[in-house]
Amino acid sequence: MAMIEVERLTKKYRDRVAIDALSFTIGEGKIVGFLGPNGAGKSTTMKILTGFMPATEGKARVAGFDVFEKPLEAKRQIGYLPETPPLYPELTVRGFLHFVAEIKGVPRKQVKSEIDRVAQGTGVTTELDRLNSALSKGYRQRVGIAQALIGNPKLLILDEPTEGLDPRQRNEVLQLIKGLAGQHTVVLSTHILAEVKTICEQVLIIHRGKIVADDTMAAISGGKENGLEEKFISLTAN
């Protein structure tokens, strides 16, 4: 089953075209790297898929639900981590996850067990009663992923989930994301190509609002150690 189906998706801002007739499909259970230079259209695409922004033209479906015609049904399939995790600094981790669970419509009787589930899965159980403002950057990213997992959505869209982390924290978060494969479809937007090589099965590269590559990691890298880097540079040079 296709988790994401995009057909000729276009977003225009007056005379500027942010994304131009994008078409791609992402299968269920895969971890997909979504790559592109700054301003290529990655964030615009993710905002449209998550319902934060309308498209000018085209179609998009998440788990079979049309993002524009059935937005609530589509949003229920998605867990989203923006580049800056949306944590309320005055809340504890537990209080924040409780708030997210209520917003997502988790039945009241299941909220505690759901918080325990995502906290254990992301390694933040020991931090549940700390204020978000007191957390390290690494733990804030973990809590960001935990809130995306509330409600057990089929699709996770993660925007720069390792931004600002030290090498140890980055490795821990990557292993956490890698462990979600099969249980969830994961779209990972990042500037760090080494991360994509570590955990992604499929790679999408966008440049100047157009998809310039869409293939398996093996095919894009061509079996070369620096194959992904070489491909990325050649496709985004102009």
**178 within a domain of the structure (yes/no):** no
**101 within a domain of the structure (yes/no):** yes
Average pLDDT over the chain, rounded to an integer: 92
Segment holding 47, helix H or strand E: helix 42-49
Burial of 185-222, coded b for 16+ CB within 10 Å and e otherwise, reads bbbbbbebbebbbbbbebbbbbbbbebbbbeebeebbe
**pLDDT value of position 83:** 81
**62 within a domain of the structure (yes/no):** no
**96 within a domain of the structure (yes/no):** yes
Closest CA to 174 of 190, 152, 185: 190
pLDDT in tens, 96-151: 999 999 999 999 999 999 999 999 989 999 999 999 999 998 899 999 999 999 99
Domain that holds residue 115: 87-152
Count up the domains in the chain and report the number: 1
pTM across the whole model: 0.91
**114 within a domain of the structure (yes/no):** yes
**61 within a domain of the structure (yes/no):** no
**pLDDT value of position 117:** 94
**221 within a domain of the structure (yes/no):** no
**127 within a domain of the structure (yes/no):** yes
Percent of the chain, pLDDT > 90? 74
DSSP annotation of 144: H
pLDDT in tens, 61-95: 999 999 999 999 999 999 999 888 889 999 999 99
Name the pLDDT band for 165 (thresholds 50, 70, 90): confident
CB 51 within 8 A of CB 75: yes
**pLDDT value of position 130:** 97
